[in-house]
Amino acid sequence: MTVLLLGGSPSPQSSCSRLLQHIGDKLAVHGCRTARLEVRELPGPALLRMDANDPELARALAQVAAAEAVVVATPIYKAAYTGMLKLFLDLLPQDGLQGKAVLPLATGGSQSHLLALDYALRPVLASMSARFILPSIYATSEQLAWDSERGTRLAAPIAERVAQGVDQLVADLALRASIAGTAAAWQVAA
Ligand SMILES: Cc1cc2nc3c(=O)[nH]c(=O)nc-3n(C[C@H](O)[C@H](O)[C@H](O)COP(=O)(O)O)c2cc1C
C-alpha cells in the first residue's frame, strides 16, 4: 500500500515540505511505502494549460491514482491553500480521490488561519470522493524548527498531532488491507 506525499508549496526551502517529509519518515517506520510528489517540480506551462497529456503530468496523475492514501500539504496563502495545489487538484478527475484516505496538512505564519484547511481544502477533498479525511494538522512557522544536523523538530502539541495522524492513517490502511485480504479469501473459497 502506497501513501503519496503531495506537496503544494512553491518554495524550494519549504517548511511545509519538511513537515511532509517528517510524516513520510514516520509512516515508513510503520512499514508504509511512500512516494513523493511536489507540485512545484511539475512543468508550470503544462500545469497552467491543464494539459493532462504532458508526460510529467500524466506520471503525476498516475501516482495519485496508484496511491491508497494521500497526505496533502500546503502552506496557507491568503487564508487558503496555495493556487499551485489547486491547479494540480483541478487536473485530477472529479472522483480522483475515490477510495483513498487523505490527511490534510498546512503550515502558516500564525494561528489566524488555523481553520483554513477545514473551510477551504476539506470541501475540495470531499468533492473528489475521498473515502476518509483525517483531522487536519496545522503548524505555525514557530512550531517547526529545522537545522541540517538535527533535521525537523516539532513543538510538543504538533508532535502529538502528527503522531495521532500517523497512527490513524496506519490503522485505516491496515484495516483496509485486512478487509481486502478477507474478500480475496472468500473469492478463492467460493
Ligand atoms: C503569498 C503568501 C501569503 C501568505 N498568506 C498567509 C496567510 O494568509 N495566513 C498565514 O497564516 N500565513 C500566510 N503566509 C505565511 C506562510 O503560510 C508561512 O510562512 C508558511 O509556513 C510557508 O510555508 P512554506 O515554507 O512551505 O512555503 C503567506 C505567505 C506567502 C508567501
Q: What pLDDT sits at residue 20? A: 97
178 Cα: distance to centroid of ligand 1 (angstroms): 40
81 Cα: distance to centroid of ligand 1 (angstroms): 9
Are the C-beta atoms of residues 149 and 102 closer than 8 Å to each other?
no
Q: What pLDDT sits at residue 178? A: 87
Are the C-beta atoms of residues 57 and 46 closer than 8 Å to each other?
yes
Residues at CB less than 6 angstroms from ligand 1: 9, 11, 14-17, 75-79, 107-110, 112-113, 141
pLDDT tens across the length of the chain (190 residues): 899 999 999 999 899 999 999 999 999 999 999 999 999 999 999 999 999 999 999 999 999 999 999 999 999 999 999 999 999 999 999 999 999 999 999 999 999 999 999 999 999 999 999 999 999 999 999 999 988 888 899 999 999 999 999 999 999 999 998 888 888 887 877 7
The full set of domain ranges for the chain reads 2-189
Measure the CA–CA gap between 24 and 28, rounded to whole angstroms: 6
Measure the CA–CA gap between 73 and 9, rounded to whole angstroms: 8
pTM listed for this prediction: 0.95
Answer yes or no: CATH 3.40.50.360 is held by domain 2-189.
yes
79 Cα: distance to centroid of ligand 1 (angstroms): 9
3-state secondary structure of 151: strand
